[in-house]
Amino acid sequence: SQWGEENLQALSIQEGEDVTMNCSYKTYTTVVHWYRQDSGRGPALIILIRSNEREKRSGRLRATLDTSSQSSSLSITAAQCEDTAVYFCATAQGGRALIFGTGTTVSVSP
Amino acid sequence: EAAVTQSPRSKVAVTGGKVTLSCHQTNNHDYMYWYRQDTGHGLRLIHYSYVADSTEKGDIPDGYKASRPSQENFSLILELASLSQTAVYFCASSGTGGEAEQFFGPGTRLTVL
């Protein structure tokens, strides 16, 4: 498997809190994707970070990539109920396809 | 307007029967993929294709065939459906392989009884 263990499979937080989820991977990648999957829908890309970037921001999202430890994190600042979803990390597999992690379920309550 | 569509959206099949899942994309993408999603396993790659009339095995191809008759269409075929193939199946497309963003369809929920 491309992936090591994800730190947390599920996170429950309240609105306004910050949340961070982590992924570790086993083989070299030039890019880490983060996808979000809403209930009953297909995943959609929310942020992509390349190996020459240590940090990438998009709105309330912040992704980090540490190539030395082969790990990536996704943070959501001031979470809102609509952030409730499953979040996947994915890495490039030698130019063939992406390999997805098992996902972290984030539940945000009012 | 949805760029990757799948049909059917849900299906109940009998063990040993043949099942065909269809995918259509209007992204003009060369790459198309089939994944299955099971609780606790994330998305696992079954087959993919980077050109019409050619398919490649993914990580879990056993029990599945794929067909890419045109750039726009990609089918997943279960010749002899089994209980273990009950899952949600997603089709995706991308402009190139490897690093490129993938665009997913809405999924097909398959139940094999």
Q: Tell me the per-residue pLDDT of A2-25, one tens digit each, with 9 for 90 and over.
A: 454 454 588 999 999 999 999 998
CA distances from A9 to A31, B39, B41, B42, B79 (A): 22, 11, 11, 11, 34
pLDDT, tens digit, 9 for 90 and up, residues B47-102 = 999 999 999 999 999 999 999 999 999 999 999 999 999 999 999 999 987 788 99
Distance of CA B100 to the CA centre of its chain: 18
Total Cβ atoms within 10 A of residue B8: 13
Which of B35, B99, B102 is facing A31, going by the closest CB pair? B99
* Token pair of A7 as six digits: 């730190």
CB A91, CB A82: distance < 8 Å: no
Give the best residue of A9, A98, A102 to mutate against chain B (max B CB count within 10 A). Answer: A98
User: Which residues on B lie below 8 Å from A43 (Cβ)?
Assistant: 43, 90, 102, 104
Chain mean pLDDT for chain A: 89
Q: Which tens digits make up the pLDDT trace of A53-80?
A: 999 999 999 999 999 999 999 999 999 9
CA A71, CA A83: separation in Å to the nearest integer?
23
C-alpha to C-alpha distance for A28 and A22, rounded to whole angstroms:
17
Residue A82's SS3 state is: helix
CB A89 within 8 A of CB A61: no
